[in-house]
Amino acid sequence: MAVRWTMLGMWLLVSLLAGCQLWNDFSGGRIPQPPRSETALFVPYADREVPRLRSLIDRKGFQHYSSQHAYLLGYSYDGVFLAVMTFDREAQAYRIQLYHTVRNRIEETLYVPSSEQLHAVQDSQKQSEAEEQLQIAQETLDMGYRIKVSAKPLRWRFDQAVRIPGSGNYIIRANWKSPTLTIFVQDDRGTKWQLAQHDWASPLRPAPEMYVIRHPDFPGRWTVVGASIGSRKGPEPFFCSVEIDALRPERSEQALSRLIQTVMPGGGTIVFRGELTKRGYGVLLAVQEALPPAVREPGIVYRGMAKRFVIIDDRGRAVDQGGSNGLVHQGRLLSAGRSLYYRIVLIARNPKQKADLLLVDQLEPNGEVKRTFEWIWDESEQRFQLLQ
């Protein structure tokens, strides 16, 4: 009987200790982690040089890491291109995106086989194809884009702010209001500039960890890298870059709000903006919305009904505008009427451009189309051109 009670007491003591440990893990804010063998052996951004692809994908823990995070592989010598790597769970392969930090676009996407495919000893043909694919990707990085400068990013949470080193005392912050993530840069006086805006349909959402990085030889150009999560593929990176010299007060959000009030009495919403460069935003498209409200969908930057709209050039001039009495192009009335309103669709399906085509239906009060106008987007000039 004494032995039985002794064993029972020991069992209760072990259970109590286990319960205490479990409580400590959660009450202290610790989150249960994946098995140590999956993640602990990979330490990101510890390399002095850009790692070779073969070495990187063979490292234990890298596949797991890159299926959860965007991994910044490195810069080109001239600071123009940034290579970012993720693991595509559907394709069971690595995806490398070459981002153009000056033009703010994806220049090229490469796919690299997984370590499992490279070591498929039971299928020599599959292994040979994987080796060839890896070699092509490595040569593209080395000789095509010259990705030779290792990445040393600042890591931060998207629901916090990060201060970027250098003059100006700037911070970068993100504002997440489902389904839209907006990224701003702000100075110590509270002046703000919008860098980018991304929309995702549920269940996509921003990954908690984001990165800010600059090339060591070009300290005035900063790039923000984040990723959306919730897709079966894994993380989907997004990017935006800014030249510190472009952050002038006359291009701030506060100044743009005053500009819209000036050219469109009663105010409006900016639904499209060109790149923020040393010359300005390039072009702005603002609307005064009517019912129904605008909706967003893939390949469509904006779709909605508007009482008024205006296209503003980089000098702050209203070059095209539509109102209740007609549509004016560069000071010339093209189509007049009464109580007119507008159906607007802005299309962007070319991943290397911010826009492709702006379609505007001028509508009569009864909803019939009076006239349709089309503008094509000139990527090199960063402006809309009216087709006549």
pLDDT at 31 over 70: no
Express as a percent the part of the chain with pLDDT over 90.
Answer: 60
Question: What value does the mean pLDDT take over residues 5-25?
Answer: 37
User: In whole angstroms, how large is the CA radius of gyration of the chain?
Assistant: 26
Question: What value does the mean pLDDT take over residues 200-223?
Answer: 91
Out of 93-102, 218-227, 290-299, 343-352, which region has the weakest mean confidence (pLDDT)?
290-299
pLDDT at 20 over 90: no
Cis peptide upstream of residue 203 (ω within 30 degrees of 0): yes
Q: Tell me the domain boundaries of the chain.
A: 36-150, 154-245, 249-387
Q: Which pLDDT score is estimated for 352?
A: 75
Cβ neighbours for 134, distance < 8 A, ≥ 6 positions apart: 53, 54, 112, 113, 118
pLDDT at 22 over 50: no
pLDDT at 125 over 60: yes
The DSSP 8-state label assigned to residue 144 in this structure reads I
pLDDT higher for 12 or 152?
152
pLDDT-derived band at 88, boundaries 50, 70, 90: very high
pLDDT at 1 over 60: no
pLDDT at 38 over 60: no
Q: Which pLDDT score is estimated for 25?
A: 31
The rounded distance, in Å, linking the Cα atoms of 55 and 68 is 19
Q: What residue has token string 């505007």?
A: 360
Whether 275 and 282 have beta carbons less than 8 Å apart is answered as yes
pLDDT at 278 over 70: no
pLDDT at 12 over 50: no
Query: Comparing C-alpha atoms, which of 245, 190, 248 is closest to residue 222?
Result: 245
pTM (predicted TM-score): 0.81
Residue 143 backbone zone (phi > 0: left; psi -120 to 50: alpha; other: beta): alpha
